């Protein structure tokens, strides 16, 4: 009887481990956007700015203003460096440097990245 209880307990633990591991691997997603993700969201942001598909948040406004000041050399802003934005925030990583200066562009890009799982 004791051996049967131990065997049942071992099987239950093994089943839970396998289920947990398979679930963890099944929903894994890259932490960093791919070049394809970046290109697609930059393209969508360029098109979205024309149609004003998404409204920028106050954070988009502040970050766009900071990006404009960086280009004039007055301040250093996070998320507004060079041709493509380098940021630990996956929702703005890879954003076109000129687009980063436009709050509406930032908003569309961010929404696109979020929709892609970042």
Would you write out the chain's pLDDT as a tens digit for each of its 118 residues? 666 657 567 656 556 555 555 455 555 555 788 999 999 999 999 998 887 778 899 999 999 999 998 865 444 444 444 457 777 788 888 999 999 999 999 999 999 999 999 9
Tokens coding 13? 């633990």
**CA separation for the pair 101, 105 (Å, rounded):** 8
Dihedral of CA atoms 95, 101, 107, 112 in degrees, nearest 10, equals -20
pTM (2 d.p.) = 0.63
Structural domain boundaries in the chain: 1-30, 35-115
């Amino acid at each position: 009887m004791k051996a049967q209880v131990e065997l049942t307990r071992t099987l239950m633990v093994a089943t839970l481990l396998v289920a947990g591991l398979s679930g963890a691997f099944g929903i894994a997603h890259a932490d960093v956007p791919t070049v394809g993700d970046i290109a697609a969201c930059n393209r969508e942001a360029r098109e979205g700015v024309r149609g004003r598909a998404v409204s920028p948040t106050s954070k988009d406004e502040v970050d766009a203003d900071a990006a404009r000041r960086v280009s004039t050399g007055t301040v250093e802003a996070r998320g507004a460096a060079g041709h493509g934005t380098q940021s630990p925030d996956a929702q703005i990583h890879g954003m076109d440097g000129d687009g980063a200066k436009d709050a509406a562009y930032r908003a569309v890009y961010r929404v696109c990245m979020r929709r892609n799982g970042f």
